[in-house]
Amino acid sequence: MHMKEKSKKFGTFEGVFIPSIEAILGTVLFLILPRQVAESGLIKMLLIILFAHTVTVSTAFSLADCATNLNRIGAGGMYALVRKSLGIALGGSIGIQLYLAQAASIAFYSTGFAEPLQPIIAASPYFDFFVKAFPSPENQQQMIALSIYLVFFIIVFIGADFTIKLQKGILVILFMSILSIFLSPIISGTSNLFTGSINLHGSGNSGFIILVLVFTTFFPAVTGIGAGVGMSGDLKTPQKSIVSGTFRAIFVGLIVYLIAAFVFALMDPELLKSGSLTQVMGFSNGSIPAIIVFIGILVATSSSGLSYFMTGPRTLFALLDDNILPKKASFLKKDIIKGGKEPRIAIILTAILGAGVIFSGDTATISAIVGIAFLAVYGWINLAAFLERVSRNPSFRPSSKGHWLISLYGFIVCSVVIVIFSPPQSLIIGFGIGFFQIVIFMLILKFKSENKVEGVWWGVIFSLAAFLTSKLRHIVQGTKNWRPVVKVFAFSDSKDRINNSVLRIGEMIASYQGLVTSHIITTGNDDMNKDVHRGLEEPIHKILVGSKSELSTAVNNIIQSGDYSNIKTNTVLLQYDSRINWESIIDQVVNRSSLNLLLYKDNPFYSWKSIKNVYSEYSIDVWWRGTDNGNLSILISYIIYRSNLISKVKTNVRIIRKVDDDNQIDNAKKDIEQLISKARLTCSILVLPKDELDIQDNIKEISKDANLILIGLPDSKRESKDKVSGLKSIMYRFEKEVEAFTALPPVLFVRASSKINLIEE
């Protein structure tokens, strides 16, 4: 049963707006923005605020695209949206990264809560016992952070309903603190706080690098929208609430930051740079506005911590619900309270992970890791929406009014900000996060996704392929760019007669810069031969015919059928079958369709040795006569050689020629050597003298250990005018004497429709 079916549902205001706005209006507003305005000035700071919000707005549009396109979002927030578009493998790796960042964020907000409290507690006589127990300020801050962390845990453990009710009160206090800042020019009792002028240009360095650092320091303030989106599984109408609540939170946050920057620009910049905002406003003197602001700082950090304490376990729940994590971890979805509605075991695990971050020591590095991790997730959201838009999938019909340029802008800026976040540290962290995500992606792809990528990627690749192939009509291919585009045919009328060998040969030929389409023509029923796909990478089309006499007709019809776009079939590979009318097939393939013909004659007494990664070595013998068929045979052997090279299978190619006159041996060998040298091919050469043996006997003796034999199939119309001898005679009488090759290793008969040049002039 899904969480969304059990949990109490929230509306837009309490479910999305409150968590988002409280995460946006956090420590940056109270602790960082005043100093930034003092150093950079109002004009530059306003530009930075506006620019940072353009990224958030673009991400919000992307969120709207992804959210309004789904009928059901479920738990997981941003992970759930990304997973639907980018697939289980990539989406799962992003979700794990998001969950870890959320868990670590709780610890940082707890530390942020403890930071302003530590000097006050250390100076208070009521806490002498605490100071004696933990004399180091760093340890004091860690213990205070741990204490508030436990409070957060207890609140969230009680339930989301209780937490959100508490956050409503926090929101009131937060806006009271903000209102105190806005009204401070009127009610402040500090006479020297305001200068009577506006700090437009700042009092510090204003170089480009400084502005970049100011931007990267401010930018995390506007990334709090993930806190509201993370409640997706607990919303009444998530599609509507995510969009409406996110945009409202961004708008309110923008207005608050713009007004706050203007107020801080009225204050003395030297005072703002010398102390915290509460000190400047007279906290030590008991100033009411300063006390309210101090409380606001505490509730701002606590509200953000509570938000991620709620969303983190829900992201983990979604990962478990999608079977991303091992099944042994499925107990984390459960509630320790009978009939409970919360993922409390997941909350406990999240609390343990976050507590470790508090005592990690290097909070600056982990803070950068969390910030970059969130940026990466926002970048993926933008990329997902961009890909959905540009691929033009018919199933992508969001009700939002986004545009691919908006999403692309958000993705690019998120990527750039990651790089400039804190160089060179950010580069190391960015590469580390990228490597971590790649590892997780590969693990999920292998163990959870059967090595198949899903999501928007098929549509993206299809759209790109359709666009590129449409341009082929304006490009002349020529022999220089020849690639094997193969239609493969196998025949069967029972499961036992299926032979995967010809299908695998087709894959080997096309796997190196080529394309293959496999067909099985069968007279059996549609349920047989279910195992034929096993071990094959390419899809197989099954064609049912009524009788054996229709096999040849089916082949001819498929050969004549149209190809996709401007990628035309140039080669036909057929499994030899005595039921086929080969005269008709050869005439259709070579003479009428001008296609290369490859006829595969298997040997049931030879084990299939060409399966990739089974044998460490693979041997090919090319019986070459120097005609068009010979050139194509050598090219096919080279393609298989390169295909096996990719599969790390050592392949030996040998070119064998038999002469009619012993005086031709030296010249024949020299001609082949020159051809091989100019064509830059890797193979050995064997020239046989004339003898009284039939060619089958020569092949049986010389090529008995080969994995594959290639022999030219002569053009009867062209070569019948010549004096046919030996090999030519055998090929000319192929249909009558093909059974003579039964005792040989697998043979691939080659017939070229036109001459293929091995040497580029």
- Please spell the DSSP secondary structure of 17-44, one letter per residue: IHHHHHHHSSHIIIIIHHHHHHHH-HHH
Per-residue pLDDT, 47: 92
Q: Which two tokens stand for residue 581?
A: 């009318």
Per-residue pLDDT, 722: 44
The string of DSSP letters for 422-456 reads STTHHHHHHHHHHHHHHHHHHHHHHHTSTT---TT
pLDDT tops 50 at residue 236 = yes
Q: Which two tokens stand for residue 8?
A: 């109490």
Average pLDDT of the chain is: 79
Domain with CATH 3.40.50.2000 in the chain: 478-602
pLDDT tops 80 at residue 161 = yes
Q: For residues 742-756, b (16+ Cβ closer than 10 Å) or e, as one string?
A: eebbbbbbbbbbeeb
Domain with CATH 1.20.1740.10 in the chain: 3-447
Determine how β-strand 515-522 pairs with β-strand 540-544: parallel
Considering the domain delimited by 605-761, tell me its CATH architecture.
3-Layer(aba) Sandwich (3.40)
Work out the average pLDDT over 180-192: 70
pLDDT tops 50 at residue 728 = no
Q: What's this model's pTM, rounded to 2 decimal places? A: 0.75
Alpha helical stretches, state H, 220-362: 225-229, 238-266, 269-274, 277-280, 288-321, 344-358
pLDDT tops 60 at residue 612 = no
Q: Which two tokens stand for residue 691?
A: 């003898």
- When pLDDT is cut at 50, 70 and 90, the band that residue 740 belongs to is low
Per-residue pLDDT, 611: 45
Which residue, among 633, 651, 624, has the nearest Cα to 706 in the 3D structure? 651
Work out the average pLDDT over 731-754: 72
* The dihedral sign for the CA sequence 410, 382, 228, 246: positive
Cβ(319)–Cβ(96) below 8 Å: yes
Length of the chain as a residue count: 761
Which residue, among 625, 654, 649, 650, has the nearest Cα to 637 in the 3D structure? 654
- When pLDDT is cut at 50, 70 and 90, the band that residue 687 belongs to is confident
Which residue, among 397, 403, 308, has the nearest Cα to 98 in the 3D structure? 308
pLDDT tops 70 at residue 547 = no
**Dist CA 318 CA 233 (whole Å):** 9
In the sheet where 596-601 sits, what is the strand order? 540-544, 515-522, 485-492, 571-575, 596-601, 747-751, 708-712, 617-623, 650-658, 684-688
pLDDT tops 60 at residue 170 = yes
Q: What is the pLDDT of residues 410-453, one digit of tens each?
A: 999 988 888 877 666 667 777 888 888 889 888 888 887 766 77
- When pLDDT is cut at 50, 70 and 90, the band that residue 123 belongs to is confident
Domain with CATH 3.40.50.620 in the chain: 605-761
Residue 749 main-chain phi, psi, to 5 deg:
-80, 130
Among the ranges given (139-153, 351-365, 732-746), the one the predictor scored with the smallest mean pLDDT:
732-746
Which residue, among 37, 27, 76, 356, has the nearest Cα to 206 in the 3D structure? 37
Report the SS3 class of residue 279. Answer: helix
| Rounded percentage of the chain residues whose pLDDT exceeds 90 | 9
pLDDT tops 90 at residue 36 = no
Cβ(102)–Cβ(396) below 8 Å: no
pLDDT tops 80 at residue 383 = yes
CATH class of 478-602: alpha beta
User: How many Cβ atoms from other residues are within 10 Å of residue 283's Cβ?
Assistant: 19
- When pLDDT is cut at 50, 70 and 90, the band that residue 46 belongs to is very high
E strands along 495-606, which residues? 515-522, 540-544, 571-575, 596-601
Per-residue pLDDT, 725: 45
Among the ranges given (297-301, 533-537, 626-630), the one the predictor scored with the smallest mean pLDDT:
533-537
pLDDT tops 60 at residue 529 = no
**Dist CA 94 CA 504 (whole Å):** 36
Residue 451 main-chain phi, psi, to 5 deg:
60, 30
Question: CB-hemisphere CA count at 13 Å for 747?
Answer: 24
- When pLDDT is cut at 50, 70 and 90, the band that residue 540 belongs to is low
pLDDT tops 50 at residue 535 = no
Q: What is the pLDDT of residues 55-86, one digit of tens each?
A: 999 999 999 998 888 878 878 888 888 888 88
Of 3.90.660.10, 3.90.230.10, 3.10.310.10, 1.20.1740.10, the CATH number of 3-447 is 1.20.1740.10
Work out the average pLDDT over 614-618: 69
Higher pLDDT, 179 or 209: 179
